[in-house]
Chains A and B, each alone.
Chain A
Amino acid sequence: MKYITFIAFALLTLFTAGSLYAAPKPTATPTVTPTPTKSPDEINKELLREKVATQLARLVQGTQKIFSGTIESKTDKELVVITKEGTLTVRVDENLTKWATVTSTRELKSADFKVGEFVTVDAIELDGVLNGNAVYKDNSYKVGHGNVSSVDADNNTLSVTKAQEQAPTELKLDKAVRVFLYNQKTQVLDKSRLDKVIAGDSVHYVQQKKGAEYVVTKLIVIPQELFISSSF
């Protein structure tokens, strides 16, 4: 009986010791050190850090949404952008939202962005609310094609009839518009001039927003003879 009691006691002791050894080790309790008095700057930084951490933890559950458009209105907390999908409202924050230009790494401020400017927005959509990660100043371009109805080199305009449209659209040409003519023999684009473009040609154009209007900055011309002489 004495032996059994001894063995049982020894077993219990070693079992407990073995379990404690195998169990995950609790992290060491940090030593409590007296906290020095914090400056207002440090407190603000700490608050901001906490705010960022909370926001990140929340946004990680959302889905990324990128879009471009023109700023319709803006406040300290909201940016309303007219996009091709409609009007979108983005929640912004002076500290949490990055404000910049797409072509530069230099950061801007919210105040540098004005109503009417074209922007690309990187946002996170969460519970139907768009939270702005970054707002970039961007250039607005349009591309299109159609058949030339008329050319007015003096007034720098080009009338184009687009597919499935009856009436021609008048396009304003940039003074420095670059014109390229498709060469049927070499099958490459040759530099050309506006006076080489004639009614009936097919054109592909790039329009850039300059000020309040879009102007054609680049023009590719496919001569109409190509469609007569080939399988196109």
Chain B
Amino acid sequence: MRIETVIAVILGVLVGGTFAYYLTTKTVASGSRESINISTAEAFIGKQKAEAQEGEKNGKFAVTAPADNTLVKAPQAVLQIEAPKASLIVIQTSGEEKIFKNTQSVFTESVKLSAGENVIEVTAYNKELPVGVSSQSLTLYYLP
């Protein structure tokens, strides 16, 4: 093989390879996903904590999670509740009832869900609350 042929082959391979590399990297870059904004989530959690602490001072009662009219993927839901410590808490659903005194002002409690619509009422009895009692209803949906 003549020297000119060898040079031509090497040069051709180099140029072709460079172009191939360019094509490959360009495709990958355009398909990359955007990163998640973590600072927004942290700010939201911080705000929730601040609101929870404020609630303790004022004898506040609220069911903070899950949101009303939420579709739940499992046959149970974890309720996040804010209430003055040592309140008598009553959780009533169509399939289950719970009654207890809370030891923490912000706590969670799991409730069983039936298939379909679940109307849940959470009530807290405590003298620190307006008229001594507060309640909140929420509707959760579970579709097996």
Point out residues on A near B: beta carbons under 8 Å. Answer: 3, 6-7, 9-11, 13-15, 17-19, 21-24, 64, 66-68, 84, 102-103, 120, 122, 134, 136, 138-145, 163, 180, 182, 187-189, 202, 204-206, 208, 218, 220, 222, 226-227, 231-232
Among B5, B19, B69, B120, the residue within 8 A (CB) of A10 is B5
Sample of 11 further A-B pairs with CB below 8 A, known A11-B8, A84-B139, A102-B144: A7-B4, A17-B16, A18-B13, A21-B20, A22-B20, A136-B116, A202-B125, A208-B94, A220-B92, A227-B125, A232-B87
Count how many pairs of residues, one from A and one from B, have CB atoms less than 8 Å apart in the complex. 148
Chain B residues 102 to 144 lying within 8 A of chain A, measured CB to CB, are 114-117, 119-121, 123, 125-127, 131-133, 135, 137, 139, 141, 143-144
Contacts of B126 in A (CB 8 A): 231-232
Q: With A and B bound together, what is the CA distance between A206 and B121 in angstroms?
A: 10
B77 is an interface residue with CB less than 8 A from chain A: no
Contacts of A102 in B (CB 8 A): 115-116, 143-144
Give A189's nearest chain B residue, CB to CB: B99
Q: Across chains A and B, which 10 residue pairs bring their CB atoms closest together, nearest first?
A: A18-B16, A14-B12, A22-B20, A10-B8, A102-B116, A141-B94, A138-B116, A68-B117, A102-B115, A143-B121
Contacts of A3 in B (CB 8 A): 4
List 11 contacting pairs A-B, 8 Å CB cutoff, sorted by A.
A18-B13, A22-B20, A68-B116, A102-B115, A122-B143, A141-B117, A202-B125, A222-B88, A222-B125, A226-B88, A231-B127
Asked if A66 and B143 sit within 8 Å, CB to CB, the answer is yes
Which of A9, A134, A204 gathers most chain B CB within 10 Å? Answer: A204
Among B7, B135, B139, B141, the residue within 8 A (CB) of A145 is B135
Say how far A130's CB is from chain B's closest CB, in angstroms.
14
Among A11, A67, A68, A188, the residue within 8 A (CB) of B15 is A11
Q: With A and B bound together, what is the CA distance between A125 and B141 in angstroms?
A: 17
Say how far B43's CB is from chain A's closest CB, in angstroms.
24
Q: With A and B bound together, what is the CA distance between A67 and B117 in angstroms?
A: 8
Contacts of B78 in A (CB 8 A): none
B49 is an interface residue with CB less than 8 A from chain A: no
Q: With A and B bound together, what is the CA distance between A180 and B97 in angstroms?
A: 10
Contacts of B69 in A (CB 8 A): 66-67
Q: With A and B bound together, what is the CA distance between A7 and B101 in angstroms?
A: 90
Give B15's nearest chain A residue, CB to CB: A15
Give B27's nearest chain A residue, CB to CB: A24
Say how far B103's CB is from chain A's closest CB, in angstroms.
13
With contacts A66-B143, A145-B90, A222-B90 taken as known, whether A14 is within 8 angstroms of B116 at the C-beta atoms is no
Q: With A and B bound together, what is the CA distance between A101 and B27 in angstroms?
A: 48
